[in-house]
Amino acid sequence: MAIRIRNPTLSFPLPILLFFFFSTLLLSTATSSPDPIRARANLLRKQLTDLSYVSSLYAGSSRKLSLETSKQSRLFAQLSQNFSILLSSNPPQDVSRFERDARALISSARALISASKDSFDPQLKIQRLKDAIFAGNEQLTKAKKSGAFSSLIAAKSIPKSLHCLAMKLTAERVARPEKYTDPVQPAPELEDPRLYHYAIFSDNVLAASVVVNSAVKNSKDPSRHIFHVVTDRMNLGAMQVMFRLKDYAGAHIEVKAIEDYKFLNSSYVPVLRQLESANLQRFYFENKLENATKDTTNMKFRNPKYLSMLNHLRFYLPEMYPKLHRILFLDDDVVVQRDLTDLWKIDMDGKVNGAVETCFGSFHRYAQYMNFSHPLIKEKFDPNACGWAYGMNFFDLDAWRKEKCTEQYHYWQNLNENRTLWKLGTLPPGLITFYSTTKPLDKSWHVLGLGYNPSISMEEIKNAAVVHFNGNMKPWLDIAMNQFRPLWAKYVDYDMEFVRRCNFPA
């Protein structure tokens, strides 16, 4: 059975899997095992599991690409749900029926993927945005006025190369599972509180690898640094492969999916419960493009990224790492430029969160982040309190446990179910949770704005321990600012075969 490959974005892994699928079907009818029907069903199940994984990968990607693909996004989500339903008939009562259903589903997967191939290339949109932003001299004002909507799309969508990388790595994971499964006994270093631990939560393999590469490269003794990478189920395979492809000079890298943390369920986590609520789902899916272009606030909020569990994991560090006393939280859009071990020597004065403050004049004060017309906010917080930044946060987990910060966060997140306390993001609940327990760090630890502010001084950047590409112009997008992009690009593994094959601009 030959499956023709016409579309380059489809040259992996689905056709490969389909090929395996059909060839194993043929094989299984030819061999006579003691229980042929059962063996055949098992084979089918295994293939369906792989396909289900791939279709959820497409579902997630198409969801991220843009609003216009929301129909496709729904179809892919349906498809992966259909795969799960079929898989959950365990064991299938009627194998020939099961097989018929499986074939139907596979052919609908093929049709859907070939129909949606154009949407997987947002480059055009990004180019248009770039033109809009750089036309004229008032780059940023213009971006803010006319480009707010498109820049949001660009910032949240995955360019083709990134998508390619995730897919190729996933295909590799599916093709050679034995090579990438975790050892039965995890390395003791992963829980050793005497070592330097980092938490990186990301769905972007390339970005996460740059964070790790830069931290390893600049550390004096990499073997004492432990990186805890957590991703979503869709990107788990890709992350597992990415971090096994090379040696990190003795540094340890743990790759997990959110789903590995069983305590993160909707009976415990308010955000999950809120995400699952029918109301919010409707809110996300029923708004049409037309309205979204008019209302950027609403638009921003509709982006699942602003509510996704991956973003809220930062509020569960003590439970995720019960043996550790301290951990450094890094966003996936940062680059480490120095050995960071001096952070572990800072006297935290019993505070929980070490962060750089961001306020100046009347800007970035609490009043900007939350609703001070609300009596509960007004009663508890000072509107002039100085804001601080997420991106590089040093957390004292013992102090966190003692101060019961997670309970605080739950209390407020529950109150905000109808979004009257704050609108979106993790910064407002962070400011609330660590209101009296934040320790300001020297600003040279964490220099912000490389994703939106073209006028940061090179001197400041050079002296920074960590630089942060917060803003829409991420270094992996082609709208990145030319003067800052090399700071990031120098840590990309361009010589890695998977990266090379996806045509990243150097």
Inter-CA distances, 475 with 143, 159, 457, 506, Å: 17, 12, 18, 11
Does 89 bind ligand NAG (CB under 6 A)? Our answer is no
**Considering CB under 6 A, how many residues would be counted as binding ligand NAG?**
22
CA atoms of 229 and 245, how far apart (whole Å): 15
Q: Angle at Cα 199 formed by Cα 194 and Cα 205, nearest 5°?
A: 135
Figure out which of the listed residues 45, 420, 427, 489 binds ligand NAG, where binding follows CB under 6 A.
420
Does 97 bind ligand NAG (CB under 6 A)? Our answer is no
Residue with token string 């982040």: 369
Specify the residue, 47 or 438, whose C-beta has the smaller distance to ligand NAG: 47
Options 34-42, 261-269, 441-449, 456-464: segment touching ligand NAG (CB under 6 A) = 261-269
Rg (CA), the chain: 24
Closest approach, Cβ 230 to ligand NAG, in A, equals: 17
Inter-CA distances, 254 with 194, 309, 319, Å: 17, 19, 16
Closest approach, Cβ 1 to ligand NAG, in A, equals: 21
Q: Angle at Cα 121 formed by Cα 488 and Cα 83, nearest 5°?
A: 105
Q: Considering only residues 272 through 311, tell me which ones interact with ligand NAG, judged by CB under 6 A.
A: 287-288, 290-291
Specify the residue, 72 or 337, whose C-beta has the smaller distance to ligand NAG: 72
Figure out which of the listed residues 373, 455, 457, 482 binds ligand NAG, where binding follows CB under 6 A.
373
CA atoms of 154 and 123, how far apart (whole Å): 9
Does 32 bind ligand NAG (CB under 6 A)? Our answer is no
Structure token digits, residue 116: 């949606």
Figure out which of the listed residues 374, 398, 461, 493 binds ligand NAG, where binding follows CB under 6 A.
374
Figure out which of the listed residues 9, 42, 108, 296 binds ligand NAG, where binding follows CB under 6 A.
108
Question: Do 431 and 369 form a contact (C-beta atoms < 8 A)?
Answer: yes
Does 88 bind ligand NAG (CB under 6 A)? Our answer is no
Alpha helices in 146-277 (DSSP H): 148-156, 160-175, 177-180, 205-217, 233-242, 270-276
Structure token digits, residue 500: 């090379």
Does 368 bind ligand NAG (CB under 6 A)? Our answer is no
Closest approach, Cβ 83 to ligand NAG, in A, equals: 9
Figure out which of the listed residues 134, 263, 344, 363 binds ligand NAG, where binding follows CB under 6 A.
263
Residues that bind ligand NAG in the complex, under the rule CB under 6 A: 75, 78-79, 82, 105, 108, 262-263, 265, 267-268, 287-288, 290-291, 371, 373-374, 415, 417-418, 420
